[in-house]
């Protein structure tokens, strides 16, 4: 009878450890799936316009005329 009780005790401990490991595996699997599903990159719908601020600031408006100074007036 004592051997039977030891066997049943060991069997329950083994089943408990197995169910714990299976539970942890399911949790880790669901966390990994959630991370991969959230990390999917959404395609850019419209192409962003890149502006060159420096050339816009220093671009002349129309034709530039070089007018020499007049000394005779």
CA 5-8-14 angle, to 5 degrees, is: 140
| DSSP track, the chain | -HHHHHHHHHHHHHHHHHHHHHHHHHHHHHHHHHHHHHTPPPPPSSPPPP--HHHHHS--SS-----PPP---
What is the structure's pLDDT at 70? 77
| pTM attached to this predicted model | 0.46
Q: Given this model, what pLDDT does residue 72 score?
A: 72
Length of the chain: 73
pLDDT of residue 9: 94
User: pLDDT digit string (tens) for 27-69?
Assistant: 999 988 888 777 666 666 676 666 666 666 666 666 666 677 7
**pLDDT confidence of residue 52:** 66
């Amino acid at each position: 009878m004592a051997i039977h009780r030891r066997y049943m005790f060991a069997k329950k401990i083994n089943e408990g450890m197995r169910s714990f490991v299976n539970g942890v595996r399911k949790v880790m699997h669901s966390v990994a799936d959630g991370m991969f599903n959230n990390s999917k990159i959404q395609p850019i719908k419209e192409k962003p316009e890149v502006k060159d601020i420096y050339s816009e600031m220093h671009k002349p408006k129309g034709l530039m005329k070089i007018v020499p100074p007049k000394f005779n007036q």
